[in-house]
Chains A and B, each alone.
Chain A
């Protein structure tokens, strides 16, 4: 799977599923699917993008959410123990239901975090930057400069630190960071000056179409869109949520139309544009089917099982096998990654 949009659609599906159910049975299956894909990607050779460990963060989030909710929410019928005294917010009964509610919240957050980690693992940063729409051309350029310059900045920081250490500089107080920070900042700004001159010399931003100027029509679209969005948001909280949703959709369409018009002015080229392979199309089709099953009231599917509340007394949540099987469709990209044949050259080498 090389198509970034296929991954984005997969991610959006995971987020929608995590958002519409509070049944921990479904949440656990979603989380396991996401973890499976993460492991599949790592097995396929994707490197970790950052310093985070999913396991550590997951344990921390679920533990914190469970303990916090158990200590502060005193609802529920199954009392585990009671905190005596008059401690504000804490004193009272600690219930099993509150723990389950907290753990469910933790599971949702971990699911979201893990799914975004999968996206970061599946797509290189340049592909993520490539997803930035044409309307944001200047921002995309700034982002790609920043991403490119970041390793250099870290290297410079290390060099400055070593140079200062050789001179006997010691880090004792906050002010001792100044001899490290200022050369980094001034060096960076000098580099920006040279970069700007090089870009100007190569004719960057030398045509009006490059930055698009400030055309009025797309901006009017966006202004009206924003106003409709705010109005729709307020309306959907009130008496007629359907009307509000319609306003929000119209507002979003207007904003997207404005962005599209703005984006048409910038011409973007790519050395290699990832195409749509059968694996990408299959993933998109399956995720769309999952979304349809979860969002539309098909006969024979127990949608009640999506809405689970452990309060007031903990019960075993309902489970619809069709929904459970549908969730397993999220495994598609992972299975495809595992079944991917190695490139010819690499196969011969190994």
Chain B
């Protein structure tokens, strides 16, 4: 129990730190006004942001990989990441409309079925492996891995809602597939927009020196938010709307059979081997999932 609490604290600390790093354009103005720090070091910030985000990501990955890892999970994740990276590879070779990408569908469903840790690793490693094979490694990669990891981890939030629906609104024995899929589709819709909005933050203070929708040091929180929204509406809304609709359509079209397949294999992957003989070496039982 103590280990679990400690683990949650590390998750929270790394996630909040990552958020603070990503969201600095929104709270920096207030700080800089207080300090009279007008000449902001715009050139250094993206690099520093990448380094800090990378460190937060490392901590999250090391925490996520710890207790869950055994041969079955290693193989499962390896293969699922390969399938998702193949989908991204195909998408890169034959681009879909706008921000449409087939990868979040599987990240969300894997996170929902196998839990937040596996979901986080699935998201982060999909970005990493697909960047390796497509030559897309860059300073944006930690941000992509972090955000895609959150996508997978957040799928866990759907579980309690489905449980409530199951206990309160569905007759015993009846299927909860439809509300489950609708909730996951809503999550896909939200992440379609949120992923783009978060990833824009990496470059927003850096790329544009424009009026009205660019980041300017010394403005208040509300005005900065208004400027960011203006920038988002102009540059990303159409792109992200296509991404969000794509996520919804993929989850609605393929969600139920994919969930069935993943659950069937989840049962096969999590079998417990309990030897009759107590004298069995604990060393040899480590490779078996618990």
A47→B213 CA distance, assembly (Å): 41
A117 at the B interface (CB under 8 A): yes
In the complex the two chains form, what is the Cα distance from A113 to B135 in whole Å? 9
Residue of B nearest to A12 (CB): B47
Q: Are A174 and B71 in contact (CB under 8 A)?
A: no
- State which of A133-141, A162-170, A281-289 sits at the interface with chain B: A133-141
Interface residue range, chain B? 35 or more
Return B184 CB to nearest CB of chain A, in Å. Answer: 16
Q: Which of A186-194, A269-277, A314-322, A327-335 contacts B (4 or more CB under 8 A)?
A: A186-194
A237-B28 in contact (CB<8A) = yes
Contact of B58 among A105, A193, A259 (CB under 8 A): A259
Q: Does B198 contact A (CB under 8 A)?
A: no
Cβ-neighbour of A136 out of B43, B65, B77 (below 8 A): B65
Specify which chain B residues have a CB less than 8 angstroms from the CB of A40 in the assembled complex: none
Residues of B within 8 A of A15 (CB): 47, 139
In the complex, what residues of B have CB within 8 A of residue A227's CB? 13, 17
Beyond A48-B135, A72-B211, whether A226 also contacts B79 by CB under 8 A is no
Question: Contact mask A208-247 → B, CB, 8 Å, 1/0?
Answer: 1011111010010011011101100110011101000000
Is A28 located at the chain interface by the 8 A CB criterion?
Answer: no
Indicate if the CB atoms of A239 and B86 lie closer than 8 Å: no
State whether B254 touches A311 (Cβ < 8 A). Answer: no
Task: Give the residues in chain B near A219, CB-CB below 8 Å.
Answer: 6, 10, 63
B78 and A192: CB pair below 8 A?
yes
C-alpha gap A239/B35 in the complex (Å):
5
Identify the interface centre among A143, A237, A241: most chain B CB within 10 Å of its CB. Answer: A237
| Cα distance A182–B25 in the bound complex, in angstroms | 43
**Contact of A204 (CB < 8 Å), options: B21, B71, B234, B258:** B71
- Residues on A with C-beta less than 8 A from B258 are 181-182, 185
Given that A75-B211, A206-B283, A206-B286 are known contacts, is A226 also in contact with B56, CB under 8 Å in the complex? yes
Contacts of B10 in A (CB 8 A): 219, 222-223, 226
Report if B284 contacts A (CB, 8 A). yes
Q: Which of A52, A89, A237, A248 interacts with B32 by CB under 8 Å? A: A237
Closest-CB distance, A83 to chain B (whole angstroms): 13
Q: Give the Cβ gap from B250 to chain A, nearest Cβ, in Å.
A: 8
Q: Are A238 and B37 touching (Cβ within 8 A)?
A: yes
The distance in angstroms between the C-alpha atoms of A185 and B31, with both chains bound, is 50
B212 at the interface (CB under 8 A from A): yes
> Would B35 and A238 count as touching, CB distance under 8 A?
yes
Q: Which of B97-147 contact A (CB under 8 A)?
A: 121, 125, 128-129, 132-139
Beyond A150-B86, A196-B71, A238-B34, whether A141 also contacts B78 by CB under 8 A is yes
Q: Tell me, yes or no, whether A119 is within 8 Å of chain B by CB.
A: yes
Contact B208 A73 (CB under 8 A): yes
Give, as a whole number of angstroms, the nearest-CB distance from A259 to chain B. Answer: 7
Bound CA span A141–B35, Å: 47
Residue of A nearest to B140 (CB): A112
User: Are A226's CB and B59's CB within 8 A?
Assistant: yes
| Chain A residues positioned under 8 Å from B62 (CB to CB) | 135-136, 222, 259, 262
Question: Is B80 part of the binding interface, using a Cβ–Cβ cutoff of 8 Å?
Answer: yes
Q: Which of B159-167, B169-177, B261-269 contacts A (4 or more CB under 8 A)?
A: B261-269
Chain B: interface secondary structure?
Answer: helix
- Check: B24 CB closer than 8 A to any chain A CB: yes
Is A86's CB within 8 Å of the partner chain B? Answer: no
B259-288 to A contact mask, C-beta < 8 Å, 1/0: 001100100110000000000000110111
> Of the 9-residue stretches A19-27, A296-304, A339-347, which lies at the interface with chain B?
A19-27
Q: How far is the CB of B201 from chain A (nearest CB, A)?
A: 14
Check B211–A229 contact: CB distance below 8 A: no
- Chain A interface (Cβ within 8 Å of chain B)? 15-16, 19-22, 48-52, 65, 68-69, 72-75, 89, 92, 98, 101-102, 105, 109, 112-113, 116-117, 119-121, 125, 128-129, 135-136, 138-139, 141-150, 152-154, 157, 174-175, 177-178, 181-182, 184-186, 188-189, 191-193, 195-197, 199-200, 203-208, 210-214, 216, 219, 222-223, 225-227, 229-230, 233-234, 237-239, 241, 248, 251-252, 255, 259, 262, 311
**17 A-B pairs in the complex with CB atoms less than 8 angstroms apart:** A19-B43, A50-B135, A69-B209, A72-B212, A75-B209, A105-B208, A129-B132, A142-B77, A142-B81, A146-B81, A157-B90, A189-B80, A205-B70, A227-B13, A233-B52, A234-B20, A238-B32
* Chain B contacts to A: CB under 8 angstroms: 3, 6-7, 9-10, 13-14, 16-17, 20-21, 24, 27-28, 31-32, 34-35, 37, 43-44, 46-47, 51-52, 55-56, 58-59, 61-63, 65-67, 69-72, 74-83, 85-86, 89-90, 92-93, 121, 125, 128-129, 132-139, 203, 206-214, 230, 234-235, 249-250, 253-254, 257-258, 261-262, 265, 268-269, 283-284, 286-288
Q: In the complex, given contacts A105-B208, A142-B121, what are 15 additional A-B residue pairs having Cβ atoms less than 8 angstroms apart?
A: A20-B43, A73-B210, A112-B139, A128-B132, A138-B65, A145-B82, A153-B82, A153-B86, A182-B254, A196-B72, A206-B287, A219-B63, A226-B59, A241-B37, A255-B55
